[in-house]
Amino acid sequence: MDNEQLKRLKKKRSSYKGQLTLFENYLLTLDDTTLSKRQVMELQLRITKLESVLKEFDAVQLDIECICDDAQLEISLAVRQRGQREQIIFAPYLLCKRDVQ
């Protein structure tokens, strides 16, 4: 049971990672100069979506970490992936929040 559940959760996590990557790629398209009103509105919508995706990603990641027992190497990988994703997302996310406000 845990193995099947773990596979399903990893698939969900991959889907959320893909959505986070789309946000990262969108940020790369923004110019470093002042954002237009349209860009600010779009960024606000994307930030709202991102917040939802981050919550779901965290929930799935926590479920993965809870399923993995301490003997499995999976848990250390899961924790590392969480840390890597947070490093990648939170810096640009905070910059976006600052630019939108």
pLDDT band at 84 (very low <50, low <70, confident <90, very high): low
pTM: 0.69
pLDDT of residue 40: 82
Cα–Cα distance for residue pair 16/35, rounded to 1 Å: 27
Domain residue spans of the chain: 2-26+36-100
Q: Is a pLDDT exceeding 80 seen at residue 13? A: yes
- Maximum Cα–Cα distance for the chain, whole Å? 52
Helices marked H in 1-101 — which ranges? Answer: 2-29, 37-67, 74-100
Which residue in 99, 89, 94 sits closest to 33, CA to CA?
A: 99
